[in-house]
Amino acid sequence: MKSRIENVVLLAFSILTLCTTATYAQEQERPNVIIIITDDQGYGDLGITGNPHVQTPVIDQLATESVRFNNFYVSPVCAPTRSSLMTGRYSLRTGVRDTYNGGAIMASNEVTIAEMLKQGGYTTGVFGKWHLGDNYPSRPSDQGFDESVIHLSGGMGQVGDITTYFKGDTSYFDPVLWHNNQQEAYEGYCSDIFTDQAIQFIENNKASPFFCYLSFNAPHTPLQVPNEYYQKYKDIDPASGFDGDDRPFPEMSEKDKEDARKIYAMVTNIDDNLGKLFKKLDELKISKNTLVVFMTDNGPQQRRYVAGMRGRKGNVYQGGVRVPFYVKYPAVFAQNKDIETMSAHIDVLPTLAELCKVDLPQDRKIDGKSLLPLIQGKTVDWADRSLFFYWTRRYPEPYYNMALQKDGYKLVGKTNYNAALEDFELFNLKTDPYEQHNLVLEDKSKATTLKLELDNLYQELITSENLVNQPRIIVGSKAENPIFLNRNDAGGERGIWDQEEIYGTWKVSIEEGHYDIRMKFVKPLKAGGRLYLEANTLVKHQANSQDQVDVLELKNVYLPKMDCDLLTHYAVGGKHIMPFWVEMEKMN
């Protein structure tokens, strides 16, 4: 029989072992990850950022319980922001250079947050807006997501979203969405649907680590919102309530004010949905070990309060690229903390890699940095940190709407490719956060240094492999057959939208076989024309005798294996009419 002393020692040892094991297990436990991103919601579209009109109590409370990065930046428009968020890399490295014009397809060789987290046993889901490729091999399911409920292209009701475009003013209600690459009808308002699907995903995967990417398409245009939310704002004046505020404020037209009312209603709907989401985390008792990120993808599209900043969506001034960014992780982070260090969308992936204890991709340049040291209050020497911004259609144009920000200064180009240094703008953001005072003539040395770095980085990015060799859509793969080619991914003339007469092509890689090809047109066609399909040296055409039809077909078309720019059009009466979408089904 053991002595009493031996029993006490054994008990103490057992307790110590259990405590050590529990501490180790807690340290090793990987957090659930939820990234919430809204579309075209500017920095000023929250109560906590000083907007007296918009009602966002849930997001405001999240902010007070979070680590707040107060100088957080994204790209001026959505697809580039989303590619950088997903990969930790500047969008041009990923092949994403535009929001349409065939420039919103991310290369399949990129490693996304979803693919990275799957190393750690995560189940992954995306709900809402993807906007990084609608066809194989660039869909969410091809880029690491186990579950997806999304709309196509850049927005519901846009030409690329073939299942909602023709719904017009009701495209946000009762939509046909894409559930794991299959069309599926849903009832209700889009933001409600995406939130409910995210909640269901979380419930189904609560027992093991999950990554939920809740990517709202609101408050992007078209500005559609349930009437009960609009009624909350129908009588407000969005330009009022800023008396005595010395920050610049944009002049708002009556249309701007009405747009703001609808946008605030859409934001409040999102806020209510996030309330449901956070309540579910509490009910499932997983809030403590769930890391929640809230951010937006760029500045506001319309004129309204943006906390005094200059510019809006599409612009490299602060109003276009500075957004709210809140990180909450109760199990690890102190709540209610401000961080002023410049940070960006490219930092999210490396931060999650460190927090979730998974390896970063080692075979490529990651432009971002882990934010964890900043959150932990460690001294970080980021003196060499700079951020590059640009936005023009198709490809970057030096030096038009291009900027480099570093060490509190920002060099902005709104000029020509061969402009003199004096044609640029230089701002000291520490003393001039609203970018009102151009210092380029006063500090040419600083401007010269920043321009040299801007030039070098631009040259590096513009020669990126995935940009030079644009990602191709694969036609005839078993992974997607039939395939729909939509206008969002068509290149050619700038600004391809819903026009009849416009030149456009799709960059595709075709698998050998016989295809049935259907072409949908925006408006019914006149008889007496010819339907054309061109691929490299091959031309297939067929006379049409049908009048007032909007779908024409080419049956049993043999196509060899090839990479090509696929061109289709209907020639009639001197017109060349581009299809709205092309469906290709490989028959053998």
Is CATH 3.40.640.10 the classification given to domain 386-467?
A: no
Among 248-257, 376-385, 405-414, 492-501, which stretch is predicted with the lowest mean pLDDT? Answer: 376-385
Side chain identity, residue 118: K
**CATH 3.40.720.10 residue ranges for the chain:** 31-226+258-375
Residues 576 and 541 sit within 8 Å (Cβ to Cβ): no
Residues 181 and 480 sit within 8 Å (Cβ to Cβ): yes
What value, to the nearest 5°, has the Cα angle with vertex 42 and ends 167 and 496?
45
**CATH 3.30.1120.10 residue ranges for the chain:** 386-467
Q: Scan for tokens 């595709």, then name that residue.
A: 508
pLDDT tens digits, 113-150 = 999 999 999 999 999 999 999 999 999 999 999 999 99
Dist. CA 331–CA 328, nearest whole Å: 9
Torsion on CA atoms 510, 512, 515, 520, rounded to nearest 10:
10
Q: What pLDDT, on the 0 to 100 scale, is given for residue 335? A: 83
Quickly state the pLDDT bin for 462 (edges 50, 70, 90): very high
- Give CATH for domain 473-586: 2.60.120.260
Query: How far, in Å, are 110, 163, 245 from residue 362 at the CA level?
Result: 12, 39, 49
Residues 94 and 108 sit within 8 Å (Cβ to Cβ): no
Dist. CA 188–CA 286, nearest whole Å: 28
**CATH 2.60.120.260 residue ranges for the chain:** 473-586
Q: What pLDDT, on the 0 to 100 scale, is given for residue 430? A: 96
Give the closest residue to 164 by CA, choosing from 206, 115, 129.
129
Helix (H, G, I), strand (E, B) or coil at 497: coil
What value, to the nearest 5°, has the Cα angle with vertex 551 and ends 550 and 556?
160
| Percent of the chain surpassing pLDDT 70 | 95
Dist. CA 202–CA 294, nearest whole Å: 17
Q: Give, in words, the CATH class of 31-226+258-375.
A: alpha beta
Dist. CA 393–CA 396, nearest whole Å: 7
Residue 207 pLDDT more than 60? Answer: yes
Dist. CA 31–CA 355, nearest whole Å: 8
Q: Scan for tokens 């699907």, then name that residue.
A: 197
Average pLDDT, the chain: 94
Burial 61-72 (b: 16+ CB within 10 A, else e): bbbeebbbbebb
Quickly state the pLDDT bin for 491 (edges 50, 70, 90): very high
pLDDT tens digits, 301-313 = 999 999 999 999 9
Is the C-alpha dihedral spanning 371, 375, 378, 383 positive or negative?
A: positive
Residue 19 pLDDT more than 80? Answer: no
Residue 346 pLDDT more than 70? Answer: yes
Residues 41 and 299 sit within 8 Å (Cβ to Cβ): no
Greater pLDDT, 152 or 5: 152
What value, to the nearest 5°, has the Cα angle with vertex 431 and ends 426 and 435?
45
